[in-house]
Structure 1
Amino acid sequence: MADQLPQTIRDALQKRALEALDHWPVQAHEPLLMKYRENAVFRITLEDGKFAALRLHRPGYHDETSLRSELQFMAALKLGGLDVPSPVPTSNEQSLILLPANKLFPEQHADVVSWIDGVPLGQSGMPLSQSANTQADIFFRIGHGMAIMHELADAWETPEHFRRPAWDAEGLLGEKPLWGRFWDCPGLPPQSIAVLSTLRDELRQALTAISPGDLDYGLIHADLVRENIFLTENESKVAFIDFDDAGHGFRLFDLATTLLKNRNEPAYPAIEKALISGYRSRRVFSDAALASLPLFMVLRNLTYIGWLAERAEIPGAAERLSHYVAESLEMARKLNKAA
């Protein structure tokens, strides 16, 4: 998405990145814009020659407390042995800085995290490139790593003032969902609003009907899509990046997020089986919880409607919005048939 930005915006972001880098010990070079979504992410070179990632955070998306909490969570996972980015302190030993407003940008926070040397599992909308057997091996490792992440999260004592969003029933289906009111947002025709409103009510009832003991709850990544899962060490291991949406939530939400964009892969049944087997190789995951996986895949798909509606500037946003509505309703129909 970064390469689709107008040059004027790229130039402005580059200047903002250089402003931020005044706070870190880095080599004199031009930061390279790698990603522009919630954050503008640049690859930089630290003074010791190692790569790192500079993140210019989307103004107003997370406050300072939430951003510091994200960095603390990543640091705890890294300390526990999980391959994730970890905070790189400024020259003054700070993990987060606030850049002042100027003519082009409001106030915004910036931080630097360590670089993950690998390649993304894939790109949304594109077929996976690996063979079916290799895909199964990879998704087994993803499930195993996800279970370790949840295990470390449960063992970690969160620090005072720790605060992250909650991907609970209210965060997914309440009056103010974390990623927007998917049933009532700009760009939706009246017919879609009516159908999605009804679906929201049905899903709230379905979620309430699940026994609380069947749904493991705790800190989750919340966005383990292909682009945020890196294959490292000649694709023999996996690493997780981009904890921007990490928070409290149903562990099943992490599994559903990873599987959702792979539903149309020819090897999907093997992918799903491998992910679950990998998770169960490290952590308990009951059949009762597994039975709710299709529900959580619908819930995850619906979040993208609200997310896109609030980001009309994204190329192709209107078409993608229409696609997610149709896809969500089709998934919900299959869910009702299976009930």
Structure 2
Amino acid sequence: MQDNIYDYIAKAALAQYGMAEGERYFLGHSGSVTFCIKTQSEKFLLRIHQPKSMLQGDVWQRPQVIESELLWLTALRHSTEVVVQKPLKNLQDRWLTQVLADETGEMFYCSLLHWIDGNNLNGQRTPEQAYQLGLLLARLHQHSSQWQLPENFVRPAYDKNRLQAALSALYPAVLQQLISTEDYETLKVATYQVQGMIETLSQTQNIWGLIHADLHEGNYLLHNDELRPIDFARCGFGYYLYDIASSLQYLLPIVRPSFFEGYQTIRKLPEHYLQITEGFFIMALIEVFSFHVNNPQEHKWISESVPYIVKEHVHPYLEGESFLFAKY
């Protein structure tokens, strides 16, 4: 029944782009419901902004927040060589399309993006691919640091308050015995230490700005030796080193130096960047665990991963030992 509603919403939304006859292919449902749309000449990505779990937080579903993501994508496509999915306006000249569900009276917000070609990479990244990923992230940060934000631009911030919220959101895993009390307390101590580090940092434009915040291996495509970022749905304001740490957690330690090498061909890294990145690495891990904690399919992964992370990353961090180039 739910799938039928989404198909109805998709068809009604496409009519507002003059594409009512476009072929619809359901792709998946996570942060939003996605369809591949095919017309006679082009392909598009339709997103119905309805997360699988509303526990992820309503902030991501606010129209102004979604529209701000689309504005950044438009600016990136217009002002950089980075290939991203360019948003389309509907026939009313609006970025967001509203569809009212007849049965429930619920309002759904939809957006339409141009499809871009490319393939997800299988296996682990090579040093050259890690280098290219560093280049890509540096290009995004370069644009972010120079772009004049439009009026009423709103995206969430990856700051010390968000870290605190992520830690709190993870506590139900203790009650469900997915995480031991001891490991949670260790994560809490690390959180306080990272928050203290954040308090020493300024929010000047060379180190803080718009970030992708979710550039894992599923969120960039390879096309003719070029990496193309996709899924900016979690983008927000944050430290560029947090964005780096968020991506590094998915790379083997042996290729992480290549990532930094690629990044620094475009942007200079701040002093003591390694220690700061390791703090943000811990923050990014807590963010990922909290994001998945309400998904029963991820419970086994959480219960197996947290003890390893605490032993191999958090304890060394708290003891002042570097782990970024040694531990995966």
- Specify the TM-score bucket, using the shorter chain as the normaliser: 0.7 to 0.9
The whole-number CA distance in structure 1 between the counterparts of 2:185 and 2:233 is 28
- TM-score, normalised to structure 1, is 0.82
Superposition pairs of residues 290-305 of structure 1, within 5 angstroms: 290-305=274-289
Q: Which residue is 2:250 aligned to? A: 261
Q: Tell me the CA shift for residue 11 of structure 1.
A: 4.2
The whole-number CA distance in structure 1 between the counterparts of 2:153 and 2:33 is 24
Deviations 1:18-37 (A, max 9, x none): 22212113272431122321
The whole-number CA distance in structure 1 between the counterparts of 2:6 and 2:101 is 13
Which of 262, 266, 278 aligns to 2:262? It is 278
Identity %: 21
Helix, strand or coil for the counterpart of 1:218? strand
2:92 partner amino acid: N
Q: Tell me the CA shift for residue 333 of structure 1.
A: 2.0
2:16 partner amino acid: H
Q: Which residue is 2:292 aligned to? A: 308
Matched pairs, number: 309
The whole-number CA distance in structure 2 between the counterparts of 1:305 and 1:327 is 13
Query: RMSD in angstroms over aligned alpha carbons?
Result: 2.6
Helix, strand or coil for the counterpart of 2:44? strand
Q: Tell me the CA shift for residue 10 of structure 1.
A: 4.0
Q: Which residue is 1:153 aligned to? A: 144
The whole-number CA distance in structure 1 between the counterparts of 2:20 and 2:222 is 27
The whole-number CA distance in structure 2 between the counterparts of 1:203 and 1:318 is 22
Q: Which residue is 2:304 aligned to? A: 323
Superposition pairs of residues 48-87 of structure 1, within 5 angstroms: 49-58=41-50, 60=58, 61-81=60-80, 82-87=82-87
Q: Which residue is 2:27 aligned to? A: 34
Q: Which residue is 1:21 aligned to? A: 14
Q: Which residue is 1:5 aligned to? A: none
1:221 partner amino acid: H
The whole-number CA distance in structure 1 between the counterparts of 2:4 and 2:101 is 17
1:40 partner amino acid: V
Helix, strand or coil for the counterpart of 2:47? strand
1:204 to 2:205 alignment: no
Residue pair 1:140, 1:278 contacting (<8 A) in 2 also: yes
Which of 200, 224, 239 aligns to 2:228? It is 239
The whole-number CA distance in structure 2 between the counterparts of 1:229 and 1:282 is 19
Q: Tell me the CA shift for residue 144 of structure 1.
A: 1.0
Q: Which residue is 1:95 aligned to? A: 95
Which of 241, 257, 266 aligns to 1:252? It is 241
- Higher mean C-alpha deviation, range 248-257 or range 273-282: 248-257
The whole-number CA distance in structure 1 between the counterparts of 2:128 and 2:69 is 29
- TM-score, normalised to structure 2, is 0.85
Residue pair 1:172, 1:299 contacting (<8 A) in 2 also: yes
Helix, strand or coil for the counterpart of 2:215? coil
Q: Which residue is 1:3 aligned to? A: none
For structure 1, which runs of at least 5 residues remain unmatched after alignment?
1-7
Q: Tell me the CA shift for residue 196 of structure 1.
A: 1.6
The whole-number CA distance in structure 1 between the counterparts of 2:212 and 2:6 is 27
2:193 partner amino acid: Q
1:219 to 2:210 alignment: yes
Q: Which residue is 1:118 aligned to? A: 118
Q: Tell me the CA shift for residue 169 of structure 1.
A: 1.2
Residue pair 2:157, 2:238 contacting (<8 A) in 1 also: yes
Residue pair 2:11, 2:20 contacting (<8 A) in 1 also: no
1:326 partner amino acid: P
Q: Tell me the CA shift for residue 13 of structure 1.
A: 2.9
Helix, strand or coil for the counterpart of 2:113? strand
Inter-CA distance 261–162: structure 2 relative to 1 (3 Å threshold): same
